[in-house]
Copies of this chain bind each other. A is one copy, B any other.
């Protein structure tokens, strides 16, 4: 609005103004500020849920002004969606790495099952899932998008993994897709619904998870394991025994 022509050499305000101007990203483009907002939003949304979280709370928590938030996110819903997107990324990041190594089948399943079960039932992730579920009435497709890009992708990786094991002759599975679901469910047996309904107020212990996953993997392999698997496992047993 006001065009100020100044001689930058002599202007005593130079430094100050420069600092403000230099390298300032375009509106809504500064990734640091964006993170700052999302971090504040996370704390508030996760604690209070979508509706009960107020933009003022987020403002305070994020340490930015309300106006700024509205530069980065069109409204509360968009902010929430962005947060969930990020959260999803964090949750499922690395969760399936284990499946890439072609290790001993049983052990891989157990290890992966534990990671999966622990992540999905961790306080933070449960809270996030609850918030997504609660908000999906308001923001249609939000839950679907979350599932598709999170659990669904994971599921696909499990399918791939199982197919590889089938290829190796270790498993014999009629409906691989279903088997993948079965495996996941067995690893979470009793836990997911208890956590999501807040019947359990604390995440399951390591021991609980160990017990559940081990039992689930047994069941799974009893159902789908081949002769070959049995042999391999006995070899390994021997190997392990030999080691000890």
Contact = CB atoms under 8 A, between A and B. Distances in A.
B131 A137 contact: yes
B147 A136 contact: no
B130 A136 contact: yes
Given A182-B189, A190-B181, A197-B143, A137 B223 contact: no
A186 interface: yes
A151 B49 contact: no
A218 interface: yes
Interface string A28-58: 0000000000000000000111111000000
Interface residues of A, number: 64
Contacts of A155: 190
A184 B17 CA distance: 61
Contacts of A177: 190
Interface stretch (A6-14, A93-101, A106-114, A234-242): A6-14
Contact of A49 (B137, B147, B220): B137
A146 interface: yes
The 6 closest A-B pairs by CB, nearest first: A134-B134, A181-B190, A51-B51, A49-B137, A185-B185, A147-B197
Interface of A: 2, 4, 6, 11-13, 15-17, 47-52, 129-138, 140-141, 143-144, 146-148, 151-152, 155, 174-175, 177-178, 181-182, 184-186, 188-190, 192-194, 196-199, 201, 211-212, 215-216, 218-220, 222-223
18 contacts: A2-B15, A4-B12, A4-B15, A11-B12, A49-B51, A130-B133, A130-B137, A132-B197, A133-B197, A136-B197, A147-B194, A147-B199, A148-B199, A175-B211, A178-B190, A181-B190, A185-B186, A192-B192
